[in-house]
Chains A and B, each alone.
Chain A
Amino acid sequence: MSQFDAIVVGGGVNGLIAGTLLGRRGKNVCIIEKSDRFGGMASYSVDGGPTLAHSLYNLSPRALGDIGIGIQHPVLSSKPVSTVSLSEDGRHIVFKNDGVYWSDGTKHRESDAWSDLTRQLITYGDLLRQLAEAPPPGGQKAILSRGALNEFLRLAKLGIDLKKLGKSEMRRFLQVVLSNVHDIILDDLSEGPVAGMLAADAIWGTATGPRSPGTVFNLIYRLGHGGTITQPAGGMCALTDLMVEAAQKAGCLLMPDTEVSRILLDNDAVSGVETTDGRTIAAPNVLSSLAPKLTSRMTGPSAFDIETMRRVRNIRARGTTAKVNLRLKDSSALPSLSDELAHERLIYAPSVEYVEAAFNPAKYGQMSKAPVIEAFKMQTADGASWLSTIVQYAPSDLEGGWTETAKEQLAEIAVETLSRALPGLGDQIAGKQVITPDKIESATGAPGGHWHHAEMSLDQLLTLRPTNGMSRYSMGPKGLFQCGAATHPGGDVMGLAGRNAALAALEALP
C-alpha cells in the first residue's frame, strides 16, 4: 500500500501549485525538491543576492485561487511599477497605465499609438487566456463524454468571444497573432525607444528576435494577465514562502534536499520514485515538473515509443538569458534618474533594430556586445542594495563555454551598456554576480537554462506543447504526468501549467 496518492517531482512554482491543488482535493501528496529551497527559478539566488525571477507580470489569479491564496494577499498587493525606457541623452521615457511620458512629465507624442496597440494586445491576451486556463484542445476522447462536451463548450465560448470582437477586430486578431513584433510595432509607431521597449517585452527569455514570426504571440502572452508588473512585498521569496505555506496547509509533505534519481515503473504504470540517497517512495502517480527530456531520463527510454523519444529529443530549449546582479555601494539614487524613477522597471532597448541586432550573435553562440537589459533596483533581506538585471542575449551554448573570463566579460558588457544611459553607474558598483544559462540549468534543471523549459515558438505551443502528442499532461506510462513550464501554456511565474496538470491528473486519479 502506497503512502501517497501522488508524488510531485520538482518544487518550483508549478510543482508547488500542482501538489497543493491535489492536496486540497483530498489527495495525499509529497513534493520532492532537490535543493534546500522551494520555488525554483522564482526563488533561486546566489549568496542571498536578488532572485532569478525578479518581478511578477503573469501570475495567474486562477491558479492562486485554486491553492487558496487570494490575489489581495498583502504579499501580492504592492503597487504596480511603471516601465522606464532608458535613453542615452537622459530623456528617459516612462510607460504608465494611462500613457507614455517623458521623464520630465510631458506627454510623449506616441502615447496614444502606444496605448492603442497595448490595449489591443491586452484584449487578445484576454482571449488567449481562456485557452491557457485549460488543457489545450485536441486529444482523444469519446465524442459524447463529459470531457469532450466541456472542451466543445470552451471552444464555442472562445469562438463567440472572438466573434464579439467584431468583424474587423477578429480579422486583425487572426492576422496579428502569428506575426512578428517588428512589423506590428513599426506599422503604428516610429522606430525608437518606445518601439524598442515593446520589442524587448516580446523577446525576454526566448531565442528569437523581433523579426521572427511568432513574437507577437510572445508579447500577447506577456500581457495575458493585463500586463501589470509588480514586485511582491518582501521579494519573490515571500511569494514562494506563501506557496510553501499553502502546500503545507493542504497537507502536502515537502521534502527539500531530496533528489529523485529514477521514476519507478511496474508493468507500464508508475509505482513510485527512487531518490539518490537510496530511498524508495511509493505512489501510483508522479507529476514531474521537469522538462520532458529529464523526465524521460528518469523513467528510462523504454517507457516510451520510439517516435515519442524522437520528439522529446527534438524539443528546442536554448536559454539565451543571463542574470547579472550588481551590488551597489550604497542605496543612493542611480545616476541620471530621479529617486522615483529609479524604483521603476528599467529597460535598455533604444530601438527595434537594436533588439534585433542584439539577437544576431546569439544565433552563432556568441553573447551580445550590446544586449537588451531589464533592471530593477532592490534591496535584499540583508539590507544590501542591488541592481538586479536580466541580460538578453547570452546563449547557453556560448562558444568556448561560460568560463570565468566570459562571465566577467558579460558583466562588463552589462555595466557598459547601462552606463550609456546611466553614466557613472560603474563607480557605484561594489560587487557582481553573473548567473549564466548553464548555471541556471545546473541549479534548476531547466534545459539550456531556458525560462520556459522549451522554446515558446509557434511550433511548440498549445496542442504542440511540449511536443505533438504530449499536450494533455499525461506522458507515457500510466500515472505519469508532467506539470512544468514545458507544458501548456508555458512558463513565467504564472502557475497555470501546474494547475492544469493537477486538474488533468485528478481526472485520471481514482
Chain B
Amino acid sequence: MTVDNRYDVIVAGAGHNGLTAAAYLARAGMRVLVVEKNDWIGGAAVSRSLHEGWTYSNCSYVCSLLRREIARDLELPKYGLQVIPYEGGASFTRDGDYFAYYSDHNALKREMARHSEKDADAYRRYSQAIMRQCRFIRPFLLRDAPDPASLHPRDFGELAYLVKKAHGLGSRELGETLKFWTMSIGDFLDEHFENDLIKAHLAGSGIIGTGLGVYSPGTAYVLLHHYMGDIDGGIGAWGFARGGMGAISNAIAASFKEHGGTIHTGSGVEKILSKDGRVEGVALEDGKVFYAPVVASNMDIKRTVLHHIDAAELPDDFTKAVRNFKIRGSSAKLNIALDRFPNFPAAPEHTSFLRGDLHVSQSLLELEKAYDDWKVGRWSEKPYIDMLIPSQIDPTMAPTGAHMMTVFVQYAPYDLEVDGVKSAENWDEKQRNAMAETVLDQMSVACPDIRERVVHMEVRSPLEIEREVGLTEGNIFQGELTFDQLFFNRPVPGWSQYNLPIKGLYLCGSSAHPGGGVMGAPGANAARAILRKETRHGRMKGYAA
C-alpha cells in the first residue's frame, strides 16, 4: 500500500454532480480522487466532437438549473464557464403557422393575442403562479430533505423550516401550492388557456425526461423542475454554455484540480470495497485499487447498489427498495451536423425565436398520445421534440456557415417492443434509424429541408445513453421525478440524506434530492453531508452551505 493510492475521499463518476462534490471537498482541504469509466469527463454534461469540425452537446443540451450559489462558490466563470441566454422559442403548426415564445413580455403578449386574446390575458396569471411556485421551492434545493420518521434535532429543524415556509404562504396560497404540486400540467394549462398550440408549447417542460404523460398528476411539478433555474437572475431563463455543456463539467473540473484534486479517467469502478459495514475504497475495472474512508458515488442508486456493492453488505429491505426505485428510459436524442442553416418557411426573416427551443407538437392530446405509444414499448408516432441550434449563438460548435442541431426526443422506451418482445436489446441500428426517420418526419413540419441539410447524425436511444453515460435505462434524471421519489422519498425513504447503509458511502448524483438536471445541487448537498458527518469541524464554506 503506497501513499499514492490513499485518499480522503473517492468520487465514483465524473459527472457534473460528482465533480461538484469533489470540488467542494477539495476546497475544504480533503485529498480527493475522482474516477471515471470514460476517457472523458462530464457524464451527461459533456461536449464531444464526433464529426470533424462539429462539437455536440450530446446528452444534456441547455443550461439554466445550475445553482448560481455553486457557480460562485466554485468560481466557475474564472475557470471558463460562460452561459449565454437564448431568446424565446417557437412551436410550428402543420399548416404553416407558428406560435413564437418571446422573452420580451409585450412581444409575447401580442403573439399570444394573435392566437387567442383570452390566452394573452391569462398568461399573466399563469406566469405569476409559476413564478410563485419557483420562488417557494428554490430555497429547498440546497438543503437536506428532513426524515419525517426521525426525531433527530436536525430533521426536526428542517421539518420546522418547511412548516414555517409553508405557513408563511398563507392558507390561500398554501392551497394553491398543494394543488399545483399534485396536478397534471395538462389540467393546469387547461385551467388557464384555450388555444391548443399555446398549451402544447408550454406543456413540453412538464414531460421532458419522465415516464409520465401531460395528463399524469405530478407533471406540473416536473415543469417547475425545468423552470426553477435562472440565468443572471432571470428566473426560468435558459441558455447555452459556450463550447457546449461540457464547458460546465470542464470548469468544475478545473476548479477542482486547482485545489489539489485528481481525476483518473478510462477505467470505471468495478466494486466499491467495504468491510464490516464500513467503506474502504474502490476497485477499478483495470485492476487498480484506491483506498479511502469515504466514497461518494455519482452513479445512480440502482447502479451503485445493485452492480457495484456486495449484496451481503446491505440490509435486504434497503436492497429491495432500491430494486423498486423507478428509473425509466423515456427519451432519445439526435445530434445533427448541418451543412447550413435549415429553412423554416413559416418563420419571418431574421427573427430571434429560431435561436430558442423549437417544437412541433400541436396539442395536449397529441402529446398524451405520444405517451400512450411509449407505455406499450414503442417510440412515439408523433414524438415531442425539443430542437435547438446553439451554433447560431455559439460559433465554437460548428464550422463557419455550418450549424449544429440538438434534438431531444420524448418518448422512446428503454425496453423496445419488436414482434411482441420487449427488450433493450432490440435497439439495433435498424430500429434506431427507423426512429430517426420518425423524428425527421416530425422535424419537417418546421423545416422541410432538414433531410438535405444533414451532414452527420448521431442517434442515441435510451440504450446508448445507458451504455455511454451509465445512466440506468438512459433516464436523464437518474430516477423518475414522481411524488414517491422526491424530497424525503428520494432515492428511497429513510436514506434521503446522501449517506447509504454502509458507513462512509455516500450518493452524490441526481438519484438523491433534489433530483436531475444540470443543477449541481445533489453534489453540493452530498459534499456538505460528508463534511458534516466525516470530519471534525466539518462545515462547508460558501453560498451553498
Contact = CB atoms under 8 A, between A and B. Distances in A.
Given A463-B175, A464-B175, A211 B375 contact: yes
A175 interface: yes
A179 B149 contact: no
B216 A212 contact: yes
A167 B495 CA distance: 12
Interface string B238-271: 0000000000000000000000000000000000
Nearest to A186: B324
Contacts of A211: 216, 375
A353 to B, nearest CB: 8
B172 interface: yes
Contacts of A316: 187
Interface in B131-149: 147-149
Interface in A155-189: 163, 167-168, 170-172, 174-176, 178-180, 183, 187
Interface stretch (B87-95, B178-186, B388-396): B178-186
A357 B372 CA distance: 9
Contacts of A176: 484
Given A356-B375, A457-B217, A464-B178, A314 B482 contact: no
Interface in B311-334: 317, 324, 326
Contacts of B375: 211, 356
A316 B179 CA distance: 13
A360 interface: yes
A363 B179 contact: no
B149 A171 contact: yes
B383 interface: no
Interface string A177-204: 0111001000100000000000000000
User: B147, B178, B368, B376 — which one has the most chain A CB atoms within 10 A of its CB?
Assistant: B178
Interface stretch (B401-409, B460-468, B486-494): B486-494
Main secondary structure, interface of B, reads helix
Contacts of B179: 459, 464, 468
B187 A363 contact: no
A129 B178 CA distance: 21
B193 interface: no
A170 B494 CA distance: 10
Given A175-B484, A213-B218, A464-B178, A138 B171 contact: yes
A457 B176 contact: no
B482 A463 contact: no
Interface in B468-504: 482-484, 488-489, 493-494
B217 A174 contact: no
B149 A167 contact: yes
B494 A363 contact: no
Contacts of B326: 183
Given A171-B493, A457-B182, A360 B372 contact: yes
A357 B150 CA distance: 41
Contact of B369 (A167, A364, A468): A364
Nearest to A310: B191
B371 to A, nearest CB: 9
B215 interface: yes
Q: Which of A175, A176, A463 has the largest number of chain B CB atoms within 10 A? A: A175
B365 interface: yes
Nearest to B489: A175
Given A176-B484, A459-B187, A468-B175, A168 B217 contact: no
B156 to A, nearest CB: 13
A174 B218 contact: no
B453 to A, nearest CB: 35
A469 B148 contact: no
Interface string B157-193: 0000000000000011011101110110001000100
Nearest to A359: B372
Given A212-B217, A213-B216, A458 B182 contact: yes
Contact of B148 (A168, A174, A356, A459): A174
B500 to A, nearest CB: 15
Nearest to B215: A363
Interface residues of B, number: 37
Given A171-B494, A174-B493, A212-B216, A459 B484 contact: no
A214 interface: yes
A174 B488 contact: yes
B482 A213 contact: yes
B216 A175 contact: no
A180 B482 CA distance: 9
A168 B484 contact: no
A213 B175 contact: no
A178 B217 CA distance: 10
A401 interface: no
A26 interface: no
A183 B326 CA distance: 8
Interface string B356-387: 00000000010011001001100000000000
B482 A179 contact: yes
A179 B172 contact: no
A234 interface: no
A469 B176 CA distance: 9
Interface in A111-166: 138-140, 163
Contacts of B180: 459
A357 B317 CA distance: 32
A139 B482 contact: no
Given A176-B484, A364-B369, A458 B217 contact: yes
Contacts of B178: 459, 463-464, 468
A363 B483 contact: no
A175 B486 CA distance: 9
Contacts of A167: 149-150, 494
A170 B149 contact: yes
Contacts of A187: 324
Interface string A433-462: 000000000000000000000000111000
B383 to A, nearest CB: 17
Contact of B217 (A139, A163, A213, A468): A213
A230 B78 CA distance: 72
Q: Which of A174, A176, A183, A463 has most chain B Cβ within 10 Å? A: A174
B182 A214 contact: yes
Nearest to B182: A458
Nearest to A360: B372
Interface string B187-230: 10001000000000000000000001001111000000000000
A178 B148 CA distance: 15
A499 to B, nearest CB: 23
B434 to A, nearest CB: 23
B372 A468 contact: no
B542 to A, nearest CB: 31
A323 B284 CA distance: 63
Nearest to A468: B175
Contacts of A459: 178-180, 182-183, 187, 217
A469 B326 CA distance: 35
Contacts of A171: 147-149, 493-494
A174 B148 CA distance: 9
Nearest to B125: A310
A139 B175 CA distance: 10
A297 B183 CA distance: 26
17 contacts: A138-B175, A139-B171, A170-B148, A171-B147, A171-B148, A171-B494, A174-B148, A178-B482, A183-B324, A208-B217, A212-B215, A213-B217, A356-B375, A364-B368, A458-B183, A468-B179, A469-B172
The 4 closest A-B pairs by CB, nearest first: A171-B493, A468-B175, A178-B483, A458-B182
